Amino acid sequence: MKIVEALDAGIPGCELAAVSVRSRETAPERFAHLGRPVPVLAISELEPVADVVVECAPAALFRAIAEPVLRAGKMVVALSAGAILSNGDLVELARAAGGRIVVPTGALVGLDAVAAAAEGTIRSVRMVTRKPVRGLAGAPYLLEHGIRVEEITEPLMVFKGTARQAATGFPANLNVAVALSLAGIGPDRTELEIWADPALERNCHTIEVDADSARFSMSIENVPSENPKTGRITALSVIACLRKLAAPLRVGT
Ligand SMILES: NC(=O)C1=CN([C@@H]2O[C@H](COP(=O)(O)OP(=O)(O)OC[C@H]3O[C@@H](n4cnc5c(N)ncnc54)[C@H](OP(=O)(O)O)[C@@H]3O)[C@@H](O)[C@H]2O)C=CC1
Ligand SMILES: O=C([O-])CC(=O)C(=O)O
């Protein structure tokens, strides 16, 4: 909704062509406050009316949203970064058809520095994520391993592995790790720890990068949105990304 409202308020070079939601019956009242009425379409109807489609939906819908847009040589701004790994053929489709997948920095920080360092040699990228219990509850990895975070009273490390492993184990919780890996040294070399911390209110990410050009540490403490798994800054990152598309002055890689 934040992205829709920003587009409705005006982002130079962009015009809100349509939206798609889970339940179209309740859509008219949800969007009634917008300055201009917006068509509510099925996912399959988006491509013909848009040059850019913002994918900000559950990861399972990534292919249905992105494929027709990429096939038409258009742009997908994608938040479900983890789904890119399991749909690698869509990157090839984009290459062949002249489409583009743009992954905003999202709930993370510093992907510009990571991408710059990757032009040289990055020796290691390590990320530690600490989330409140409600930011992790229900993740497939926890269910598969019988890890009951709802009952913890102290911080618990629930996962140690690579960004690729996290993408399947935590599809709705760790897109940030995949985005980091795609900016840097890839999903198999990007190392990740995930902690559930009952004392936390925010989704906290700390990243350490060691490269031949620089060594840097970055951290961010995300205020959760209405969805406790997703930081508020995520939608703002998409808005900033859309603003950059047509901006005469573009700052940051
Ligand atoms: N790259 C990054 O840094 C980050 C990525 N993410 C990822 O971004 C994605 C979006 O996050 P978030 O907004 O919190 O997710 P939510 O699950 O809260 O929202 C998903 C949206 O998708 C819509 N939707 C669900 N099912 C359908 C459907 N069948 N057809 C059309 N629309 C549908 C919902 O509509 P409705 O409102 O009607 O329910 C809702 O607007 C997720 O994959 C999340 O994991 C999140 C945080 C950071
Ligand atoms: O990566 C994600 O899916 C969400 C996340 O960690 C955050 O918003 O802080």
ipTM confidence score: 0.96
Predicted confidence band at 236 (pLDDT cuts at 50, 70, 90)? very high
Q: Per-residue pLDDT tens for 196-233? A: 999 999 999 999 999 999 999 999 999 999 999 999 99
Q: Provide the pLDDT for residue 188.
A: 97
How far is residue 226's CA from residue 228's CA, in Å, rounded to a whole number?
Answer: 6
122 strand-pairing partners: 211
Predicted confidence band at 239 (pLDDT cuts at 50, 70, 90)? very high
Ligand 2 nearest atom to the CA of residue 173, by list position:
3
* Spatial contact of 4 and 14, defined as CB atoms under 8 Å apart: no
Q: Which residues are annotated as a binding site?
A: 107, 175
Percentage of residues of the chain with pLDDT beyond 70? 100
Q: Is residue 77 scored above 90 in pLDDT? A: yes
Cβ of residue 127 lying under 6 Å from some atom of ligand 1? no
Q: Per-residue pLDDT tens for 116-141? A: 999 999 999 999 999 999 999 999 99
The chain-wide mean pLDDT, for the chain, equals: 95
- Ligand 2 binding site (Cβ under 6 Å of any ligand atom): 107, 173-176, 203, 222, 229-231, 234
Residue 197 CA, ligand 2 centroid: distance in Å? 15
Which of 158, 197, 230, 233 gets mutated to test ligand 2 (max ligand atoms within 8 A of its CB)? Answer: 230
Rounded to the nearest 5 degrees, what angle is found at the Cα of 239, between the Cα atoms of 234 and 245? 130
Cβ of residue 106 lying under 6 Å from some atom of ligand 1? yes
Predicted confidence band at 24 (pLDDT cuts at 50, 70, 90)? confident
Q: Is residue 28 scored above 90 in pLDDT? A: no
Q: Provide the pLDDT for residue 26.
A: 86
Predicted confidence band at 173 (pLDDT cuts at 50, 70, 90)? confident
Active site residue ranges: 205
Percentage of residues of the chain with pLDDT beyond 90? 94
How far is residue 20's CA from residue 4's CA, in Å, rounded to a whole number?
Answer: 11
Helix (H), strand (E), coil (C) string for 67-94 = HHHHHCCCEEEECCHHHHHHCCHHHHHH
Q: Provide the pLDDT for residue 103.
A: 97
Q: Is residue 25 scored above 90 in pLDDT? A: no
Residue 160 CA, ligand 1 centroid: distance in Å? 26
Predicted confidence band at 142 (pLDDT cuts at 50, 70, 90)? very high
Predicted model pTM: 0.95
How far is residue 229's CA from residue 232's CA, in Å, rounded to a whole number?
Answer: 10
Among 47-56, 147-156, 212-221, which stretch is predicted with the lowest mean pLDDT? 147-156
Residue 63 CA, ligand 1 centroid: distance in Å? 14
Residue 213 CA, ligand 1 centroid: distance in Å? 36
Q: Provide the pLDDT for residue 15.
A: 96
